Amino acid sequence: MDRRAFLTTLGLAAAGSQLACASVAQNAAPGRRLRRVGIQLYTLRDDARRDLERTLVDIAAAGYKDVELLSSMNNFGMPPARLREILDRNGLRAPSTHVGVAELNDLDRQLADAAILGHRYIILASLPGNERTLDDYKRWADRLNDLGQRSLTHGVWIGFHNEAYDFPPINGVVPYDVLVERTDPALVRLQLDTGNMAMGGRDPLEYMKRYGTRYWAFHIKDAPSLGASTDTELGKGVVDFKRLLASIDNIDDKLLYVEQETYPGAPLDSARRDYAYIAGLTF
């Protein structure tokens, strides 16, 4: 018996009234669907490099409502004011952006761009390749706390996005866990990349049980198997998105972005199929 049916049974036993019966009828309605679906622009990076405006038009036409930008790629050379104009014209929001270490070193510039583009989150995409010891993860947690304290004075959150390499243990300790537990939830919010976590050999549902309240943004990405070296189209891998979405509290207040990094054909075709899958999923 699933949770909804169990609660319905309890309601009937407790009330035994016509009001309870009406509640049962309401609970029998079809499950919820996502109100908004976003896309990480890295999914269409090659298209965006050729023609960012055309790519944003295609994103809106596919049904997406939000776009997570790529300040770490300087948004393909488009000035923030011009980019905001194109987003607005196509009914798109850009609630967050991915940045690299260089961008975090110039946080004032990132916050100024965020004010123009409407970002609520500036998210560190990954740690530098030469800074991945346990001490590095501790040091970066402390730095993210400091940056978060600064950014919140501008109404913008600092976030951290996981990569697959954050999960293999070092001396029996998972580096990602070190960073999560050392960052202050009042200063730093987390973005769960479901596919990267699966490729790192971890089940996203298990991490939702452990740290679910810490996740305010998501990369909706699939993987062929735990520990796989590449991702895949949504619904063709091992991530149980139905259960995952159902486990997210206050999901309408969270940011969910489709992301796919490898493709069987044209990236835009995959992005369209990914949208159809996740937008049509009930949970």
Residue 256, domain CATH? 3.20.20.150
Same domain, yes or no: 71 and 12: no
Same domain, yes or no: 162 and 70: yes
Total tally of structural domains belonging to the chain: 2
d(CA 92, CA 36): 11
Same domain, yes or no: 190 and 244: yes
pLDDT, tens digit only, all 283 positions of the chain: 443 443 343 343 333 433 333 333 333 345 899 999 999 999 999 999 999 999 999 999 999 999 999 999 999 999 999 999 999 999 999 999 999 999 999 999 999 999 999 999 999 999 999 999 999 999 999 999 999 999 999 999 999 999 999 999 999 999 999 999 999 999 999 999 999 999 999 999 999 999 999 999 999 999 999 999 999 999 999 999 999 999 999 999 999 999 999 999 999 999 999 999 999 999 9
Domain span at 2: 1-30
What's the whole-model pTM score? 0.89
Same domain, yes or no: 83 and 171: yes
Same domain, yes or no: 62 and 19: no
Same domain, yes or no: 74 and 88: yes
Same domain, yes or no: 239 and 164: yes
Same domain, yes or no: 25 and 38: no
